[in-house]
Amino acid sequence: MRVVVGLGNPERRYAHTRHNLGWRVVDGLVLRLGLAAAPDLRHSLVWEGQSTGHRVLAVKPVTYMNRSGLAVAELTRRFEFDLGTELLVVCDDVNLPLGSCRARKEFSSGGHNGLRSIEESVGSQAFPRLRLGVADAGLGQTPLEDYVLEDFPADCRPAVEELIAYAVEGCATWIAEGIEALIARFNRRTDP
Protein backbone atom coordinates (compact mmCIF):
# COMPACT_ATOMS: atom_id res chain seq x y z
CA MET A 1 0.00 0.00 0.00
CA ARG A 2 1.02 3.60 -0.61
CA VAL A 3 -0.78 6.45 1.16
CA VAL A 4 -0.17 10.04 0.01
CA VAL A 5 -1.64 12.67 2.34
CA GLY A 6 -1.68 16.24 1.05
CA LEU A 7 -2.16 18.81 3.79
CA GLY A 8 -4.42 21.82 3.38
CA ASN A 9 -7.65 23.49 4.42
CA PRO A 10 -11.08 22.44 3.12
CA GLU A 11 -12.87 25.71 2.41
CA ARG A 12 -12.95 27.01 -1.18
CA ARG A 13 -11.42 30.34 -0.08
CA TYR A 14 -8.21 28.46 0.78
CA ALA A 15 -7.95 26.59 -2.53
CA HIS A 16 -5.02 28.57 -3.95
CA THR A 17 -3.23 29.55 -0.74
CA ARG A 18 0.31 28.60 0.16
CA HIS A 19 -0.98 26.24 2.85
CA ASN A 20 -2.99 24.24 0.30
CA LEU A 21 -0.13 23.03 -1.88
CA GLY A 22 -0.49 19.53 -0.45
CA TRP A 23 -4.13 19.39 -1.52
CA ARG A 24 -3.21 20.61 -5.00
CA VAL A 25 -0.55 17.91 -5.33
CA VAL A 26 -3.11 15.26 -4.37
CA ASP A 27 -5.46 16.67 -7.04
CA GLY A 28 -2.68 16.31 -9.61
CA LEU A 29 -1.78 12.81 -8.44
CA VAL A 30 -5.41 11.69 -8.71
CA LEU A 31 -5.43 12.83 -12.35
CA ARG A 32 -1.95 11.44 -13.12
CA LEU A 33 -2.76 7.97 -11.80
CA GLY A 34 -6.45 7.91 -12.71
CA LEU A 35 -7.51 7.26 -9.12
CA ALA A 36 -11.22 6.91 -8.36
CA ALA A 37 -13.17 8.53 -5.56
CA ALA A 38 -13.44 6.16 -2.61
CA PRO A 39 -15.87 6.39 0.30
CA ASP A 40 -14.80 9.41 2.30
CA LEU A 41 -13.77 9.01 5.89
CA ARG A 42 -14.96 11.23 8.71
CA HIS A 43 -11.80 13.34 8.53
CA SER A 44 -10.67 12.92 4.89
CA LEU A 45 -11.54 12.91 1.22
CA VAL A 46 -10.08 9.75 -0.32
CA TRP A 47 -9.23 8.49 -3.82
CA GLU A 48 -8.06 4.96 -4.50
CA GLY A 49 -6.50 2.88 -7.26
CA GLN A 50 -3.52 0.82 -8.33
CA SER A 51 -0.11 1.94 -9.58
CA THR A 52 3.04 -0.07 -10.19
CA GLY A 53 1.61 -3.02 -8.28
CA HIS A 54 0.64 -1.00 -5.22
CA ARG A 55 -2.75 -0.12 -3.83
CA VAL A 56 -2.70 3.69 -3.65
CA LEU A 57 -4.73 6.01 -1.45
CA ALA A 58 -4.60 9.76 -2.12
CA VAL A 59 -5.96 11.67 0.84
CA LYS A 60 -6.99 15.26 1.61
CA PRO A 61 -7.71 15.82 5.31
CA VAL A 62 -10.77 18.01 5.93
CA THR A 63 -9.82 18.79 9.52
CA TYR A 64 -8.02 22.05 8.72
CA MET A 65 -4.25 22.19 8.81
CA ASN A 66 -3.70 22.35 12.56
CA ARG A 67 -5.73 19.17 13.15
CA SER A 68 -4.31 17.05 10.31
CA GLY A 69 -3.28 14.40 12.82
CA LEU A 70 -6.93 13.43 13.31
CA ALA A 71 -7.13 12.40 9.66
CA VAL A 72 -3.88 10.43 9.67
CA ALA A 73 -4.80 8.68 12.93
CA GLU A 74 -8.13 7.70 11.36
CA LEU A 75 -6.27 6.30 8.33
CA THR A 76 -4.05 4.17 10.58
CA ARG A 77 -7.13 2.72 12.27
CA ARG A 78 -8.97 2.04 9.01
CA PHE A 79 -6.12 0.73 6.83
CA GLU A 80 -3.11 -1.41 7.57
CA PHE A 81 0.10 0.30 6.44
CA ASP A 82 3.57 1.07 7.75
CA LEU A 83 4.09 4.73 8.66
CA GLY A 84 7.80 4.59 7.88
CA THR A 85 7.55 3.14 4.38
CA GLU A 86 3.97 3.42 3.12
CA LEU A 87 2.94 6.96 4.11
CA LEU A 88 4.05 10.18 2.42
CA VAL A 89 2.85 13.54 3.75
CA VAL A 90 3.01 16.49 1.33
CA CYS A 91 2.97 20.03 2.72
CA ASP A 92 4.09 23.62 2.25
CA ASP A 93 7.28 24.94 3.85
CA VAL A 94 7.95 28.64 4.50
CA ASN A 95 11.59 27.84 5.27
CA LEU A 96 12.27 26.85 1.66
CA PRO A 97 12.33 29.22 -1.33
CA LEU A 98 9.40 28.98 -3.73
CA GLY A 99 9.92 26.03 -6.06
CA SER A 100 12.15 24.03 -3.73
CA CYS A 101 11.38 20.44 -2.70
CA ARG A 102 12.77 18.58 0.27
CA ALA A 103 11.96 14.92 0.89
CA ARG A 104 12.96 13.29 4.16
CA LYS A 105 12.45 9.85 5.66
CA GLU A 106 11.71 11.39 9.01
CA PHE A 107 12.33 14.75 10.60
CA SER A 108 10.84 17.15 13.10
CA SER A 109 7.80 19.24 12.21
CA GLY A 110 10.08 22.23 11.70
CA GLY A 111 7.35 24.43 13.18
CA HIS A 112 4.71 23.24 10.68
CA ASN A 113 1.47 22.84 12.63
CA GLY A 114 0.03 20.19 10.32
CA LEU A 115 3.12 18.00 10.67
CA ARG A 116 3.19 18.62 14.42
CA SER A 117 -0.43 17.47 14.69
CA ILE A 118 0.38 14.27 12.79
CA GLU A 119 3.43 13.58 14.95
CA GLU A 120 1.35 14.02 18.10
CA SER A 121 -1.50 11.85 16.79
CA VAL A 122 0.64 8.91 15.63
CA GLY A 123 3.29 9.30 18.35
CA SER A 124 6.19 9.41 15.91
CA GLN A 125 8.25 11.58 13.58
CA ALA A 126 9.24 8.47 11.61
CA PHE A 127 7.20 9.00 8.46
CA PRO A 128 8.33 10.38 5.09
CA ARG A 129 7.38 13.87 4.09
CA LEU A 130 7.74 16.02 1.00
CA ARG A 131 8.02 19.69 1.86
CA LEU A 132 7.37 22.25 -0.87
CA GLY A 133 8.92 25.70 -0.68
CA VAL A 134 6.49 28.63 -0.63
CA ALA A 135 8.76 31.48 0.52
CA ASP A 136 8.59 34.38 -1.92
CA ALA A 137 9.24 38.12 -1.71
CA GLY A 138 6.10 38.57 0.43
CA LEU A 139 7.50 36.57 3.34
CA GLY A 140 7.92 38.81 6.37
CA GLN A 141 5.55 41.51 5.15
CA THR A 142 2.59 40.02 7.02
CA PRO A 143 2.37 37.76 10.07
CA LEU A 144 3.25 34.17 9.18
CA GLU A 145 -0.22 32.83 10.03
CA ASP A 146 -1.68 35.28 7.49
CA TYR A 147 1.05 34.72 4.90
CA VAL A 148 0.38 30.97 4.57
CA LEU A 149 -3.35 31.66 4.12
CA GLU A 150 -2.82 34.16 1.30
CA ASP A 151 -3.09 33.24 -2.37
CA PHE A 152 0.19 33.28 -4.26
CA PRO A 153 0.83 36.57 -6.06
CA ALA A 154 0.16 36.48 -9.82
CA ASP A 155 3.86 36.66 -10.71
CA CYS A 156 4.53 33.49 -8.67
CA ARG A 157 1.78 31.35 -10.21
CA PRO A 158 3.85 29.86 -13.07
CA ALA A 159 6.47 28.71 -10.54
CA VAL A 160 3.72 27.29 -8.32
CA GLU A 161 2.19 25.29 -11.19
CA GLU A 162 5.62 23.93 -12.11
CA LEU A 163 6.26 23.00 -8.48
CA ILE A 164 2.94 21.15 -8.25
CA ALA A 165 3.71 19.18 -11.43
CA TYR A 166 7.21 18.39 -10.12
CA ALA A 167 5.81 17.21 -6.78
CA VAL A 168 3.19 15.03 -8.50
CA GLU A 169 5.99 13.30 -10.42
CA GLY A 170 7.90 12.96 -7.16
CA CYS A 171 4.91 11.30 -5.51
CA ALA A 172 4.54 8.91 -8.45
CA THR A 173 8.23 8.05 -8.12
CA TRP A 174 7.81 7.43 -4.38
CA ILE A 175 4.84 5.13 -5.06
CA ALA A 176 6.85 3.10 -7.57
CA GLU A 177 10.32 3.15 -6.03
CA GLY A 178 10.19 4.40 -2.44
CA ILE A 179 11.64 7.23 -0.41
CA GLU A 180 15.28 6.79 -1.44
CA ALA A 181 14.39 7.39 -5.11
CA LEU A 182 12.30 10.42 -4.15
CA ILE A 183 15.16 11.89 -2.13
CA ALA A 184 17.79 11.16 -4.78
CA ARG A 185 15.87 12.57 -7.73
CA PHE A 186 13.49 15.22 -6.43
CA ASN A 187 15.25 17.15 -3.68
CA ARG A 188 16.06 20.57 -5.06
CA ARG A 189 16.59 24.07 -3.79
CA THR A 190 15.74 27.02 -5.98
CA ASP A 191 17.26 30.45 -5.67
CA PRO A 192 14.92 33.11 -4.27
Catalytic amino acids?
Answer: 19
Residues contacting 94, CB < 8 A, separation 6+: 18, 134, 135, 139, 144, 147, 148
At how many degrees (to 10) do helices 157-177 and 179-186 cross?
150
86/20 Cα distance (integer angstroms): 22
Relative to beta strand 101-104, strand 44-51 is: unpaired
